[in-house]
């Protein structure tokens, strides 16, 4: 992918949550840029309010945030509720010179940005909205190959075939209950002890301690790798080396990243959910990308989604049109 014309500087703007940062970074790098990373928080009372009630001023951010000051970037990629007002302010302060992209539904009129990139399950529509199947992310062949080399020694001792296990946890609509954790732990033990699968497991910050305890206890004595959250995160390396993937369904980002590998993706459905998540999971299942995890691993093939190429092409087209205007 080639960079759009005349982009000399690029910022990404988020509240620092890794899922949002990764989406913005993935898009920036697909455009050929190593961006400046800006992390912001909102002052009170703005931190408590929806984006529609927050004024478009850089002064709404806290003193501990990354300073936002000119020269303004040619390209700004932002994501998350706390980024909406500062991103608007930058676009306005630049006199419209900064091409401003918001990833995910900003919660305000989409016309406040040059482009909004939102997953189709959000049902957000507009002339400047690009809909994607899942979340924007930077899992591409080059990233996987780099991670494959970086973590080759770590996974070399594990039995094959290898299953990468991506554990999420509770969020606003899902719950990872003790009963589910115990069931999953026993299913993973059966895969390793009875069926010879190697297991490479990564938790997230949201994974409940009781789930990790259940998994560790069930797999004690077996040749598996459970990341202990020290040292470099092997998440991408496990994806690169896995023959099959198990992922909890609470994270659109994790499921999208697993789908980008082209490998079989087995989804562990947690308690709860929402209409948006249901639309997302139904869309991936209909495309033949995912299947529910019921304790066994199947093999199938599919064409990985290429949302990134679609979004990059649209950015290039729009920025070229702005230059000609």
| 154-190: pLDDT as tens digits | 999 999 999 999 999 999 999 999 999 999 999 999 9
Per-residue pLDDT tens over the stretch 48-95 = 999 999 999 999 999 999 999 999 999 999 999 999 999 999 999 999
| Mean pLDDT, residues 9-19 taken together | 93
Per-residue pLDDT tens over the stretch 307-321 = 888 899 999 888 888
Percentage of the chain surpassing pLDDT 70? 98
Q: Does residue 324 carry a pLDDT above 70? A: no
User: Distance between CA 165 and CA 151 in Å, rounded?
Assistant: 16
Those residues whose C-beta lies under 8 Å from the C-beta of residue 15, and which sit 6 or more positions away, are 39, 40, 41, 80, 81, 82, 83
Q: Does residue 5 carry a pLDDT above 60? A: no
Q: What is the pLDDT of residue 2?
A: 45
Tell me the β-bridge partners of 272.
174
* 3 state SS for the chain: CCCCCCCCCEEEEECCCHHHHHHHHHHHHHCCCCCEEEECCECCCHHHCCHHHCCCCHHHECCCCCCCCCCCCCEEEEECHHHHHHHHHHHHHCCCCCEEEEECCCCCCHHHCCEEEEEHHHCCCCCCEEEECCCCCCCCHHHHHHHHHHCHHHHCCCCCCEEEEECCCCCCCEECCHHHHHHHHHHHHHHHHCCCCEEEEECCCCCCHHHHHHHHHHCCCCCCEECCCCCCCCHHHHHHHCCEEEEECCCHHHHHHHHCCCCCEEEECCEECCHHHHHHHHHHHHCCCEEECCCCCCCCCCCCCCHHHHHHHHHHHHHHHHHHC
Q: Name the average pLDDT for the chain.
A: 93
User: Distance between CA 62 and CA 84 in Å, rounded?
Assistant: 14
Q: Does residue 305 carry a pLDDT above 50? A: yes
pLDDT confidence band for 264 (50 / 70 / 90): very high
CA atoms within 13 A on the CB side of 12: 24
Per-residue pLDDT tens over the stretch 108-156 = 999 999 999 999 998 899 999 999 998 888 888 889 999 999 999 999 9
| Mean pLDDT, residues 13-24 taken together | 91
How far is CA 249 from its chain centroid?
13
Q: Does residue 209 carry a pLDDT above 80? A: yes
To 10 degrees, the CA torsion angle through 153, 159, 164, 166? -90
Q: What is the pLDDT of residue 86?
A: 97
Percentage of the chain surpassing pLDDT 90? 83
Q: Which domains does the chain possess?
A: 10-133+307-324 (3.40.50), 141-292 (3.40.50.2000)
pLDDT confidence band for 3 (50 / 70 / 90): very low
């Amino acid at each position: 992918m080639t960079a759009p014309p005349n982009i000399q500087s690029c910022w990404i703007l988020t509240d620092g949550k890794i899922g949002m940062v990764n989406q913005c970074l993935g898009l920036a790098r697909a455009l050929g840029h190593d961006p400046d990373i800006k992390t912001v928080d909102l002052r009170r009372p703005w931190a408590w309010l929806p984006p529609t009630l927050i004024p478009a001023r850089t002064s709404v951010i806290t003193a501990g945030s990354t300073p936002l000051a000119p020269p303004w970037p040619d390209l700004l990629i932002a994501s998350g509720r706390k980024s909406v007002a500062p991103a608007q302010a930058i676009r306005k302060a630049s006199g419209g010179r900064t091409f401003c992209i918001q990833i995910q539904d900003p919660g305000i009129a989409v016309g406040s940005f040059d482009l909004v990139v939102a997953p189709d399950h959000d049902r957000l529509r507009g002339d400047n909205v690009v809909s994607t199947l899942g979340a924007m992310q930077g899992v591409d062949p080059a990233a996987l190959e780099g991670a494959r080399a970086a973590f080759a020694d770590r996974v070399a001792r594990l039995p094959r075939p290898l299953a990468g296990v991506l554990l999420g946890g509770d969020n606003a609509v899902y719950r990872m209950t003790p009963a589910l954790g115990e069931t999953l732990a026993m299913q993973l033990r059966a895969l390793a002890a009875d069926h010879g699968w190697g297991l490479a497991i990564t938790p997230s910050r949201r994974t409940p301690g009781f789930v990790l305890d259940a998994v560790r206890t069930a797999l004690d004595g077996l040749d598996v790798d459970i990341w202990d959250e020290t040292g470099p995160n092997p998440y991408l390396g496990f994806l690169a080396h896995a023959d099959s993937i198990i992922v909890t369904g609470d994270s659109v980002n994790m499921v999208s990243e697993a789908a980008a590998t082209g490998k079989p993706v087995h989804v562990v459905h947690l308690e709860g959910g929402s209409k948006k998540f249901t639309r997302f999971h139904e869309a991936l299942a209909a495309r033949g990308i995912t299947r529910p995890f019921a304790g066994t691993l199947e093999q199938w093939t599919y064409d990985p989604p290429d949302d990134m190429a679609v979004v990059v092409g649209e950015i290039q087209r729009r920025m070229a049109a702005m230059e000609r205007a």
